[in-house]
Amino acid sequence: MQGDGWLRLCAAALFITGTTGTVCSTRVESLDLGCLLRWDCPHASPNATYTVQTKTQGDPWQDVPWCVWISSRSCDVSQVFSDFELYNMVRVGVHRDPGSTVWTKPCKFDYSDFTFSPPSVSVSLKEQQLLVRVQFPCASNRRCSVERCCPITQLIHPWTTVTVHNRLNRSEQQSRTVWSQEPVSYVEFSGLSPGQNYCAVANFSFPTFAMAASPLSEPRCVETLSEPGEGRS
């Protein structure tokens, strides 16, 4: 779950209450609904161990079972969260001794923090209608599958916007926005000029908060059929 696509969402130097002079920095990184917590406690003992807890709005704090009394400085909590319209929190506890744990200030994980990979598109013609196929990225959150691609549409139902433009005349363009609930969305466009080259791009956004949106896909282009007899003298 590491990579250049991850975005640092919550990063701050946080004093651990009750530990004089000890500072921990924590941050949450996310891409495609994944959630990775990282932390650094430079003044903690080299042999220090840590426990990570998560909390969803209205629920108590709970241990992340695979991140209890660990020595590493990161924990993938992607599988914990399932409702992305609620506020989700994550924190790390430093074990000073078997009977004492000091908790950092929680980091939030919600819609305002999401980043997404772009979708991919393909285009095809049926007579003078252009059909755009939008394929969504696999979710980093693996709650719905651990062995195959789990499209983000199995976890959220995003708004998907497809724009088609004339490659030689950018002022000629059409856009449509659809609510996507399947792994693939299909959007049709008509009213295209014959014998022209049209390109399609798409992106999607979190269903209730458009600020959490993916980048545009790579464009895919196709040439419409010429009218019969066109170009003849």
**DSSP 3-state of 217:** coil
Cα dihedral sign for 168, 174, 177, 183? negative
- Angle CA(99)–CA(104)–CA(108) in degrees, nearest 5? 135
CA pair distance 93, 102, nearest whole angstrom: 5
Bridge partners (DSSP) listed for residue 24: 14
Q: Map out the domains of the chain with their CATH numbers.
A: 7-113 (2.60.40.10), 120-223 (2.60.40.10)
CA pair distance 19, 50, nearest whole angstrom: 15
pTM of the model: 0.81
pLDDT on residue 144? 64
Token reading at 226? 């010429």
**SS3 per-residue string spanning 4-56:** CCCEECCCEEEECCCCCCCEEEEEEEECCCCCEEEEECCCCCCCCEEEEEEEE
Token reading at 73? 């400085």
Higher pLDDT, 14 or 97: 97
- Mean pLDDT of the region 37-48: 89
Q: Taking 90 as the threshold, does the pLDDT of residue 77 lie above it?
A: yes
Lowest mean pLDDT among 17-21, 37-41, 83-87: 17-21
pLDDT in tens, 167-217: 988 889 999 999 999 999 999 999 999 999 999 999 999 988 878 999 999
pLDDT in tens, 92-114: 999 977 778 889 989 889 887 88
- Angle CA(194)–CA(195)–CA(197) in degrees, nearest 5? 105
Q: Taking 80 as the threshold, does the pLDDT of residue 232 lie above it?
A: no
Q: Kindly report the number of other CB atoms within 10 A of residue 124's CB atom.
A: 12
